[in-house]
Amino acid sequence: MNYTLHFGAVWASFDHLLGGLAIGLALAVAAVAVGTVIGLLSAFASVSRSRLLRGISGTYVLLIRNIPLLVLVLLVYFALPQTGIRLDKYESFIGSLALYAGAYLTEVFRAGLLSVPKGIVEAGRAIGLTRMQTNISVVMPVMLRNSLPSLGNTFIGMFKDSSIAAAIAIPELTFEARKINVDTFRVVETWTVASGLYIAACFTIAALLRMLERRFPKF
């Protein structure tokens, strides 16, 4: 093997990688936040009594889950401005990732909704709560707690998918790593360090989520 490792060039730009990591995390947090709202609405629609709402939710999940994220990101970034909607690349990417997360979270929350015992819904109705009040005060808390593990997995998935933002020149971790790679030609070192950062971040997120799960015991 005549390749000698020189991490020095990568360490010199390490702060850029850390900055990229922070941007990736911020993108994932924003996208999962918006995606959670989309996913909740869509999940409730998917179990609603209205055929129209079920249809809308089903079509949304079907379409989004069958488009690769990269294609979705490019579509939103390049096609949307043609319709007169102007978004900067951050808004555009967060929007794409949120749409994508929303589709997966629909399934997560849907499973959570189906796991809520029918009896406690009836108990809520029996004390005079309206359908909406029952959903907010009884169904949602139980469903969210039951969904916590899958929600965590989805969040980690979305964080890793934030690397796709490099395709539209958002300076997150993958983008920064590619730049260092091009500037220094330290291919192995650069991508090793970048991978290490992704692994460390995902490990940390997973540990935090496990703490959260322990904090709120399962019902």
Partner 1 sequence: MTKIDTARPLLDIRGLKKNFGAVEILKGVDLSLQPKDVVSIIGSSGSGKTTLLRCVNLLEEFQGGDIILDGETIGYKTVGAKRTRLRDAELSRQRAMTGMVFQSFNLFPHLTAAGNVMLGLRKVKKLGKEEAFAIAEKWLIRVGLGPRLDHYPSQLSGGQQQRVAIARALAMNPKLVLLDEVTSALDPELVQEVLTTIKSIADDGATLLIVTHEMRFAREVSSRIVFMEQGRIAEEGTPSEIFGEGRSQRLNEFLKSSRH
150-154 CB contacts, 8 Å cutoff, 24+ apart: 150/108, 150/111, 150/112, 151/36, 151/105, 151/108, 152/205, 152/206, 152/209, 152/212, 152/213, 154/32, 154/101, 154/104, 154/105, 154/108
The number of beta carbons lying within 10 Å of the beta carbon of residue 214 is: 9
Give me the 101-140 binding string for partner 1, x by CB under 8 A, dash otherwise: ----------------x-xx-xxxxxxxxxx-x---xx--
Pick 25 or 129: Cβ nearer partner 1 = 129
Q: How far is the CB of 51 from partner 1 (least distance, A)?
A: 19
Q: How far is the CB of 127 from partner 1 (least distance, A)?
A: 4
Q: How far is CA 191 from the centre of its chain?
A: 23
Q: How far is the CB of 105 from partner 1 (least distance, A)?
A: 20
Q: How far is the CB of 120 from partner 1 (least distance, A)?
A: 5
Separation between Cα atoms, residue 126 and residue 50, nearest integer Å: 23
145 lies in the site for partner 1, by CB under 8 A: yes
Pick 135 or 184: Cβ nearer partner 1 = 135
Among 104, 130, 111, 122, which Cα is nearest to 39's?
A: 104
Pick 84 or 119: Cβ nearer partner 1 = 119
Residues that bind partner 1 (CB under 8 A): 117, 119-120, 122-131, 133, 137-138, 141-142, 145, 217, 219
